[in-house]
Amino acid sequence: MRLEGKVAVITGGASGIGQATVLKFVREGAKVVIADMNLAQAEEVVAQVDALGFEGSTTAVRTDVSVYADVEAAVARAVEVYGRLDVIFNNAGIAGGKPLLDHDPAVDYAPMIRVDQDGVYYGILAAGRQFRDQGTGGVIISTSSIYGEQAAELSFTYSAAKAAVISFTRSAAYELAEFGIRAVAITPGRVGTPIINQFSEDLKSTFASEQLRNKMTAPEEIANVVAFLASDESNVINGTVVHVDDGYSVFKQRLDLPTF
């Protein structure tokens, strides 16, 4: 088990990629603090983990990642319950979109920046301080997006926040290396999470066609990569962006080629 003995905080751990990563981490031997706004749902994940035979491997804490004190508290909970912290997965996020000129800044800009951008900054800061104080190093993994590297429809604020995650990651890796801390960002493409699964079948089919396998990525497939990045097997992956987009970023669309 590649994460045996490691302790992690996973934000947004009650659903989607976060939930899948919680399950992957405990199967790999880790202890996990599930930090999520929805405490009841986070506690359901704890019960799910217990039912799988990993009782005591997880604990839930209500966390609003847009509030630094909440993120600090999640880190402190890991130390209180499990004695240390080795990994933080800054995964909590919200989505949504509207044409730029129709924006109400209080609705279409500020909330997403607070969660998708500030929440990652807070996770890097709180975990980084804990890693430094422990003197043991650690790993910071943050969820960016394919939209963090390109323009896309209805995503002005979302893309900006996800681009900031990439910049945060590079700067954190640079500044924190002296403490034995690694920082990595991942850029998922079209993943079958509750955010996307609410859309029509036609739209989901279009999303799937944007990836090379012509299907949506499963949250568990992202979790597999995150577990690897959290492990000592990936010690040379630092300050970089790991694309987990099934080729979304390498092509625009498939064409019906003419016969030559």
pLDDT > 80? residue 255: no
Q: What is the CATH number of the domain that holds 131?
A: 3.40.50.720
Residue 200 confidence (pLDDT): 87
pLDDT band at 165 (very low <50, low <70, confident <90, very high): very high
Asked whether residue 257 is domain-assigned, the answer is no
Mean pLDDT value of segment 73-99: 97
Asked whether residue 127 is domain-assigned, the answer is yes
Mean pLDDT value of segment 53-59: 98
The catalytically annotated residue of 121, 122, 158, 248 is: 158
Domain containing 133 equals: 7-192+219-243
3-state secondary structure 52-94: CCCCCCEEEEECCCCCHHHHHHHHHHHHHHHCCCCEEEECCCC
Question: pLDDT averaged over the chain?
Answer: 95
Asked whether residue 145 is domain-assigned, the answer is yes
Asked whether residue 213 is domain-assigned, the answer is no
Cα 202 to the chain's mean position, in Å?
A: 27
Q: By the 8 A CB rule, do 33 and 59 touch?
A: yes
Give the model confidence (pLDDT) of 106-134 as tens digits.
999 999 999 999 999 999 999 999 999 99
Mean pLDDT value of segment 155-167: 97
Asked whether residue 251 is domain-assigned, the answer is no
Q: How many other C-beta atoms lie within 10 A of the C-beta of residue 108?
A: 19
Asked whether residue 255 is domain-assigned, the answer is no
pLDDT band at 6 (very low <50, low <70, confident <90, very high): very high
Q: How many domains does the chain have?
A: 1
Asked whether residue 259 is domain-assigned, the answer is no
Mean pLDDT value of segment 192-207: 86
| Distant-in-sequence, close-in-space partners of 133: CB < 8 Å, separation ≥ 6 | none
Mean pLDDT value of segment 80-91: 98
Mean pLDDT value of segment 132-146: 97
Report the share of the chain in percent with pLDDT over 90: 87
Residue with tokens 């989901």: 204
Residue 257 confidence (pLDDT): 74
pLDDT band at 176 (very low <50, low <70, confident <90, very high): very high
Phi-psi region of 254 (alpha: psi -120 to 50; beta: other; left: phi over 0): beta
pLDDT > 90? residue 194: no
Mean pLDDT value of segment 62-67: 98
Torsion of CA 149, 154, 157, 162, to 10 degrees: -30
Q: By the 8 A CB rule, do 8 and 30 touch?
A: yes
Asked whether residue 203 is domain-assigned, the answer is no
Q: Which long-range contacts (CB under 8 A, 24 or more apart) does 168-171 make?
A: 168/120, 168/121, 168/124, 168/142, 169/140, 169/142, 169/144, 169/239, 169/240, 169/241, 170/239, 170/240
**Exposed/middle/buried for residue 260 (C-beta within 10 Å: 0-12, 13-18, 19+):** exposed
Give the model confidence (pLDDT) of 26-55 as tens digits.
999 999 999 999 999 999 999 999 999 999
pLDDT > 80? residue 260: no
Active site residue 174: no
Residue 253 confidence (pLDDT): 75
